[in-house]
Amino acid sequence: MKVHFIALIISISIPVTGQNLVPNPSFENLNYCPFDRGQINAAIPWETASSGTPDLYNSCSNGQYLKVPFAGRWIDSYQNPKSGKGYAAIELYTNGNLSSGNSEYMEVKLLSALKNSTNYFIEFYIAPDITQIGFFGYTDAVGLAFSESFYYKTIGPMEALPLTPAIENRGKLITDTADWTRISGCYTAKGGENYAIIGNFRSTQETVVEFVNPTYPFNSYFYVDDVLIQAFDPLPDTLLLCDGQSKSYNAAFLDANYQWSTGSKDSVLTIQSEGIYSVEATLGQCTLRDTIHVLGTHEKGSFPKDTVICEDEPLILSAPLMGEYAWSDGSKNKDLSVSASGVYELNVKNECGLFFFSTNVTANDCACNIYVPNAFSPNSEGVNNILEVFFGCDFEYKMLNFNIFDRWGNLVYSASNNEAIKWDGLYKNKLVPNGAYTWFLEYEVIRNGLAQKLLKRGDVTVVN
């Protein structure tokens, strides 16, 4: 094998850029100022996902109970926004016989679909609207689910949307009315998720609630603000590291703590050698992971030396480096299938330079010539009275099993593990009847240090 290269000196530091995939995440962008309840669609592109009617509050509103921070269901409702000048609100529980179901749901189309197998961090903030009159209370159940297409469903009293949330708060009542409670978690995407839906995905019977002064009917009503869905994907899948260079990657992500496979706890890692590197970013109970495979420009044995192959078993030559490929036969693909003798050359051009690879391939006919007579006469006349098997192999071989069966499936002869094959026609110390017998031969051929099992079968006629 021959390898030549011309190196280009490049030093690169790649920063992390993260994007919140939720448009209008804090409900500040309005196509009109809300003047009544149920106007979530004023915060474009938010919509309802069921027959419920999520509310929108903003400081621009002059409607009763709609002007932030004096916004909510009651005259004593009060909440400052988590950020900006407004927020949304939804019912998360009701024990009334309402056609809107147990919960209301707010839905938004993401800026781009989620990518398969990519880790995402999801969070939003909620706060209960509690009046001193006591008709409203606390609940534990709220989550965020995904859908590939726009989702809308009319649900019956006390029912929930039949979706599985990607993240969900369960088992702990949300009771902080003065501040905002963070709901967050990790999610590994299936790919193609285009819409996010927030609400309670549990029925009335499944929802845990607490009320200061319970009456009937009663419900839980919560403000929602600052919705975030962001991919944790700071590292490319593969990196080509030019000789003598290093590259730095920044995995900085929100307020996470970091742990690299090297032991470093900094958000930035400088890579100076080949290998597989991974990083974990932890936010609360959520741990996000990403991995990079770093390749070098010097040979690692992935391009073969001059080699011998079998004509019936093509060799796949694969470019050992990333880049633009030019094979001696004109192919531009990364891989080349070879079944004939010849010299095969490859040029790879990438940011590190121009690299040249070459190998001389010799293709041989590797088939084993195996001869098994189609008839013999075990009648003790001394001519053709023993069945033998003859091997003609250019490679090392090993006979594994040779078995002969009669027409009823009885095993009448067997040899194994390179034992000499010599059948005298006897079965249980008696000559077998005239007729056809089926044989099976399993053997192993060693080529280029690799063993390959092969199987042959045929018939032999016994004539006494």
* Domain layout of the chain by residue ranges: 1-16+234-365, 40-232, 369-462
CATH classification of 369-462, choosing from 1.10.260, 3.30.70, 3.40.50, 2.60.40? 2.60.40
Q: Is the pLDDT of residue 191 over 60?
A: yes
pLDDT reading at 258 higher than 70: yes
To the nearest whole number, what is the mean pLDDT of the chain?
A: 88
In this predicted structure, the answer to whether residue 111 has a pLDDT above a threshold of 90 is: yes
Q: Which amino acid would we find at residue 16? A: V
pLDDT confidence band for 216 (50 / 70 / 90) = low
Which has the higher per-residue pLDDT, 129 or 198? Answer: 198
Q: For residues 70 and 39, give the distance between their C-alpha atoms in angstroms, rounded to a whole number.
A: 17
CA distance 432 to 412: 8
Q: What is the pLDDT of residues 379-388, one digit of tens each?
A: 867 778 899 9
Q: What is the pLDDT of residue 345?
A: 92
Residue 310 has pLDDT above 90, yes or no: no
Q: Which long-range contacts (CB under 8 A, 24 or more apart) does 130-133 make?
A: 130/177, 130/212, 131/72, 131/73, 131/74, 131/75, 131/76, 131/77, 132/76, 133/74, 133/213
**CA–CA distances in Å: residue 153 to residues 96, 163, 165, 251:** 19, 11, 16, 40
The 3-class secondary structure across 129-160, one letter per residue, is: CCCCCCCEEEECCEEEEEECCCCCECCCCCCC
User: How far is C-alpha 87 from the chain's CA centre?
Assistant: 35
Which pLDDT band holds residue 5 (cuts at 50, 70, 90)? very low
The answer on pLDDT for 447 being more than 90 is no
CATH classification number, 1-16+234-365, choose in 3.40.50.150, 2.60.40.10, 3.10.50.40, 3.40.50.280 = 2.60.40.10
Would the pLDDT of 8 be above 50?
no
**What's the whole-number mean pLDDT along residues 51-77?**
91
**Both tokens assigned to 129:** 């609207």
- Identity of the amino acid at 31: N
Q: What is the pLDDT of residue 114?
A: 96
Considering the domain 40-232, what is its CATH architecture?
Answer: Sandwich (2.60)
Q: Rounded mean pLDDT of 421-446?
A: 91
Same fold, 1-16+234-365 and 40-232: no
**Cα distance between residue 44 and residue 42, in whole Å:** 6
pLDDT at position 301 over 70 = no
Over pLDDT 90: what percentage of the chain?
Answer: 58
Q: Is 439 helix (H, G, I), strand (E, B) or coil?
A: strand
Report, as an integer, the average pLDDT of 137-150.
Answer: 94
Q: Full-prediction pTM beyond 0.75?
A: no
Mean predicted confidence (pLDDT) in 423-443: 92
Q: Lowest-pLDDT range, 103-112, 164-173, 203-212?
A: 203-212
Give the residue-averaged pLDDT of 174-194. 94
Instruction: Quickly state the pLDDT bin for 367 (edges 50, 70, 90).
Output: low
